[in-house]
Amino acid sequence: MANVFPTSLNNYITGAGSPTLLSAGHAAEHNAIEAKIGIDSSAVVTSLDYKLKNAASIDPGHHHTNGSVDSLASSKVTGLPTFPAGTIVGTTDSQALTNKDLTGAGNTFPTSLVTLTGTQILTNKRRTRRLVTTTQSATPTINTDNTDIAKITGLAQAITSFTTNLSGTPNDGDLLEIRVTDNGTARGLTFGASFQATTVALPTTTVINTELKMLFEWNSVASKWDCVATA
């Protein structure tokens, strides 16, 4: 008898016409092994071929159900996370988070925060003044809402008015510094109605090739920039 396994089972028997086997027990052992392994594409649910290759095989065959995985995890593995039922949050994805508490060793929030309108004292903070390079002209443009220092270089004509193109909504006590350097020729300076002298006079001309620094403080009573220092 020619071997037909694993296409079919051999069904070994003893006696006349059977393959050469030593005994009936030997034949039974071979048949049991083939039955346990199973033929190709076996439909026998207890065979190894079915368990490993048939898509319908479950627990613990080809496909594991949630119940079998839960049972395995609880009996064999510890420390597995509980996975969420919804969409996973990605580290770089743009996603809206709802009903989430953000905690963790890396998220250490300060015990006090600076608010927009709160009365607070700032300690160990550095304020970087906003320096704006202003195009030289007879009526330079300065917006005090976004300028702490207006720097004018290469002045090629007299300034007839610092007021004409001046804008902004300053608060009482705000400071404005104006720095002017001419182009090698002394140029006249006229400030206009938005500026006034104090005990410090308003400069009337540049100093040749030297940066002239002028510091002004907003006077809300007079609605003018008071000249408080020159250098």
The pair of structure tokens assigned to 100 is 């989430």
**Locate tokens 């510094």: which residue?**
177
Delineate the domains of the chain, giving CATH numbers in brackets: 131-230 (2.60.120)
Amino acid at 59: D
User: In b/e form, how buried is each residue of 206-226, taking b as 16+ CB within 10 angstroms?
Assistant: beeeeebebbbbbbeeeebbb
Backbone angles phi, psi at 152, to 5 degrees: -115, 125
Give residue 65's pLDDT. 57
Backbone angles phi, psi at 198, to 5 degrees: -125, -135
Summarised one tens digit per residue, pLDDT across range 168-224 is 999 999 999 999 999 999 999 999 999 999 999 999 999 999 999 999 999 999 999
Q: Kindly calculate the radius of gyration of the chain based on its CA atoms and give it in whole angstroms.
A: 46
Find the length of the chain.
231
pLDDT of residue 12 exceeding 80, the answer is no
Summarised one tens digit per residue, pLDDT across range 91-125 is 788 888 777 776 665 666 666 788 888 888 888 88
CA–CA gap between residue 94 and residue 88 (Å, rounded): 12
Backbone angles phi, psi at 26, to 5 degrees: -65, -45
pLDDT band at 22 (very low <50, low <70, confident <90, very high): very low
User: pLDDT above 90 covers what percent of the chain?
Assistant: 45
Give residue 36's pLDDT. 83
With 0.75 as the threshold, say if the pTM is over it: no
Identify the weakest region by mean pLDDT among 26-35, 74-83, 215-224.
74-83
How are beta strands 224-230 and 195-196 bridged, if at all? parallel
What are 210's strand-pairing partners? 207
How are beta strands 212-219 and 175-182 bridged, if at all? antiparallel
58 or 63: whose pLDDT is higher?
A: 58
User: pLDDT above 70 covers what percent of the chain?
Assistant: 77
Q: Which among 178, 191, 181, 133 is positioned nearest to 155, based on CA atoms?
A: 181
CA–CA gap between residue 30 and residue 122 (Å, rounded): 89
